[in-house]
Structure 1
Amino acid sequence: MTAEPTVIARRDGRVGRILLNRPRALNALNLDMIRACDVILRQWRDDPHVHAVIIEGAGERAFCAGGDIIELREAQISGNRPVADAFFQEEYALNLLIATYPKPYIALIDGICMGGGIGMSVHGAYRVATEHASFGMPETAIGFFPDIGATFLLPRLRGHLGLYLGLTGLRLSGADAVHAGLATHFVPHAKLVTLSAALAQDGPSVLAEHSEALPPFSLAPHLAAIEHCFTADTVPGIVARLEQQEDDWAKRALKALRTVSPSALFWTLQALRNGADLTLPAALDAEFQLTRTTMAHPDFTEGVRAMVVDKDRKPAWKPARIEDVDPASIAGLFTG
C-alpha cells in the first residue's frame, strides 16, 4: 500500500493550495516536507496562473506542531551533524522564501501552530486564525531556543510580548495571536470552508468580509506588568520582578520559567536581544550558528527525551536551577 504524500499540492481556481499532510504527527515538518514546499513555492512563483498560495494543515488538531525534533535529537546523539545542518539550513531558506514571496501567501491556522509551524505561517502576508488556533514557541521546554526567524519576529511584537512568549513558551489563542501580531485575521472555524472557497475565486480581498471582530485581548490588563518584568537585564532579574507580581498571569509565567531548561532561558534571552538589531536573513544565519552550540548542550537531548520521546515530562536539566547557570558559559555559545 502506497503511503499518502506528506505534502499535497494542487491548483484551485486562482490559487495554489499546499496541504501539510502528517496529521498523526500533528503535521510536524521533516526534511522531505520542507523540500517539497520549497519546490512547490518556486514553481508557483513563476506560474502566471497562480495568483496566491494557501497553506493548511491536515486533520482536526494542528496546522503544524513544529519540526520533527526526534530526528534532530537522533542526529545529535549519533554525531551526524550534516543531517541536522541540512534540516535547519533548508528550513530557514524556506522561511526566507515565504517572507519574500512575491504573491499573496495565506496561512489558514485551525489548531496547533508551534515552532516550525510559526515559520510556515507568520512570515507570510496573511495569517488567518480560528478560535481553535493555538500559537506557541515552546523551545525552551526542550532545551532549545525559538528559531525559524523568531529571534527577528518576537522582539518586534508590541511591548515585550515577544520576550514573554519566547522565554515562557506559553501559548496564545487565535484571537490573542491577532492582537499580538502573529496572526492578521480572526475567522471562526465554522466559516473557514466558505472563506477558503472564496479565496480561490477572488483572492485575499475577501479576507476582510469574512473576518470577525476580535474579542478583548486576554493579556491587555497585564501589558504594563509584562513590560516591567521582561525589561529586566537578566533571567534572574526577570524572575525577581515576576515574584513581586500577585496576578495569576505572573504565577503562570513563573511556573513556566521554573519548569523549562534554565540554560535555554539564558541563551534565548541573548538571542532575542541580538535579533532585535538584525535583519531577517542575518537573524536566520545567527540562529543556524546557535543550533550547533545549543544542540551540543546536554539539555537539548534530555529535553526532547523527556517531552517527546519518553514523555515523562521530568527532564534532568544541567544545571537544574536558574540560579546555577554560569552566564560566561552562555556567552561562549555566541562566540564559538
Structure 2
Amino acid sequence: MTDDVLTRTDGPIGHISLNRPKALHALTLDMCHKMSAALTEWADDDAIEAVMLDHAQGRGFCAGGDIAMLRDSALNDGGKRAREFFHDEYRLNHQLFTYAKPVVAFMDGITMGGGVGIALPAKFRVATENTRFAMPETGIGLFPDVGGGWHLSRLGGRLGQFLALTGARLDGPETVWAGLATHYVPSDMLEDIKARIVERPGRISGILSEPVGTPPRARIEENALKIAKHFASDDYETILASLEKAADDGDDWAQKERDTLGTKSPQTCKVALRQLEKGREFDDFADNMRMEYRIASRVIERPDFAEGVRAVIVDKSGDPKWNPSSPEGVSEELLDSIFAPLPDGEEWTPLN
C-alpha cells in the first residue's frame, strides 16, 4: 500500500500531492484528514511561505469524492459515514478558502466534484491542456457541493447555473475564460514552474504568467449569449421551456442541452438552482458550507442518489428512475425540507 496523499516540504514550499491514481485521486475521508493536518502544521510554520497542491502520478487532478462509500452508506447505515465524510471534506474546503498563505492548485487533468472543492479555494488555479473541469453531480442525484453554491453563483453570464445543471465539461482555456482558473500553463512546463516557485515563492503570480501569452480560444465563448439567455431564470421549468422553444425553432445547441437536462435528477437540478440563488447572497464562505452540509445530509438519504450512482457508475446502464420523476413533482415543500436547519448539535462547523 502506498500513501494516498504525499506531503513534504521543499524549502519554503509545503507540497501536497494526491496519490490514488487507480481512482483518479478521488478523495477519501482519510485523504481529507491528511491534507488538513498538513495545512494546519504549515500554517504555524514561519519557514513555509506557500503551498502547492497537485497529483503525484497518472491522470489527475482529482475526479471527485469516494462515491462507492457514499452510496454504501446511503444504502446501509442511513447516511452516517456519508455525513462524516461531507462534514470533514467541507472543513477542508473552508480551511483552504481561508488559508493565510497562498495556495497554488495545479488542475492538470480531470478536476471534478471534490477536486473542484480543493482547487477553487486556492489563490492560484493553474489549468493546462489536460484540464477537464466539471461539476456533474445532478447526473447521479447529488448536487454541486464542496463550495459550488459560492463559486458557481459568482460566475458571470449564468455560466454557473449552466454548469451546475448540465454537468458540462470545460477544458483548460475555457476554465481561464470563465474565471475558474487564474492561469494557463502547458503541462510540459509544470515541473519547471514548480521549481521556480520553490526558488522564488514571493513571485508566484509572475512565474505563472510568464510561460505563455493568451491561452487558446475558449470554445464555450461561442455559446455564452445562449447560456445567459436560456439559463437566466432561477426557476427550473422556465429554463426548460426556454430551451424547448429554441429547440422547436431549430436551435441544435438548445436541443442538445434540453436533452442533457432530461437525463438529470429533477430534484437535484432544482436543489442546485436554489443553492446558487442562496449562495450568491452569502458574505461568509462558512455560511455557504453550512447550507451545503444541510443539503448533503438530506439528499444522501433521498432515493435519487443511490439510484443515480447505480445507473451511471455501478451498472453503467444510463437508465436512472428518478423520484420525483419530473420537475413538476419536486415541490417547494420538498425543497424547503432539504434546505432546513439541522437539529441542535448536528450543524456543520468549520475547523477554526
TM-score, length-scaled by structure 1: 0.95
Preserved CA contact (<8 Å) 1:10 1:18: yes
In the alignment, is residue 311 of structure 1 matched against residue 316 of structure 2?
yes
1:272 maps to which residue? Answer: 276
**1:123-272 superposed matches below 5 A:** 123-203=121-201, 204=204, 205-245=206-246, 246-272=250-276
Would the alpha carbon gap of residues 235 and 191 (structure 1) be closer, same or farther in structure 2, given more than 3 Å must change?
A: same
- 1:102 deviates by 1.0
93-102 or 210-219, which deviates more:
210-219
Preserved CA contact (<8 Å) 1:263 1:319: yes
Would the alpha carbon gap of residues 25 and 233 (structure 1) be closer, same or farther in structure 2, given more than 3 Å must change?
A: closer
- 1:197 deviates by 1.5
218-227 or 139-148, which deviates more:
218-227
1:299 maps to which residue? Answer: 304
Aligned-residue Cα RMSD (Å) equals: 1.6
Preserved CA contact (<8 Å) 1:27 1:58: no
- 1:233 deviates by 4.1
120-129 or 212-221, which deviates more:
212-221
> Which secondary structure does the structure 1 equivalent of 2:219 belong to?
coil
- 1:167 deviates by 0.7
Q: Distance in 1 between matches of 2:61 and 2:339?
A: 32
2:83 maps to which residue? Answer: 85
**Partner deviation per Cα, 1:75-121 (whole Å, 9 max, x = no partner):** 11112433222211111111111011111100111110001100111
- Over the matched positions of the two proteins, sequence identity in percent amounts to 40
Preserved CA contact (<8 Å) 1:188 1:212: no
Q: Distance in 2 between matches of 1:281 and 1:232?
A: 26
**Partner deviation per Cα, 1:18-45 (whole Å, 9 max, x = no partner):** 1100000000000000000000011111
Q: Distance in 1 between matches of 2:178 and 2:253?
A: 16
Residue type of the partner of 1:206?
Answer: I
**Partner deviation per Cα, 1:149-188 (whole Å, 9 max, x = no partner):** 1101111001200000001111111110011111100001
Q: Distance in 1 between matches of 2:56 and 2:266?
A: 35
The answer for unaligned runs of 5 or more in structure 2 is 342-352
Q: Distance in 2 between matches of 1:184 and 1:249?
A: 28
- 1:247 deviates by 4.1
Would the alpha carbon gap of residues 112 and 70 (structure 1) be closer, same or farther in structure 2, given more than 3 Å must change?
A: same
**Partner deviation per Cα, 1:192-219 (whole Å, 9 max, x = no partner):** 1211211121121411112441222222
Residue type of the partner of 2:178?
Answer: A
Preserved CA contact (<8 Å) 1:60 1:111: no
272-281 or 30-39, which deviates more:
272-281
85-94 or 74-83, which deviates more:
74-83
- 1:248 deviates by 4.0
Preserved CA contact (<8 Å) 1:157 1:181: yes
Preserved CA contact (<8 Å) 1:185 1:211: no
TM-score, length-scaled by structure 2: 0.91
Would the alpha carbon gap of residues 201 and 251 (structure 1) be closer, same or farther in structure 2, given more than 3 Å must change?
A: farther
Q: Among residues 333, 344, 351, which one is paired with 1:328 in the alignment?
A: 333
- 1:260 deviates by 1.1
Preserved CA contact (<8 Å) 1:266 1:327: no
Preserved CA contact (<8 Å) 2:127 2:173: yes
1:112 maps to which residue? Answer: 110
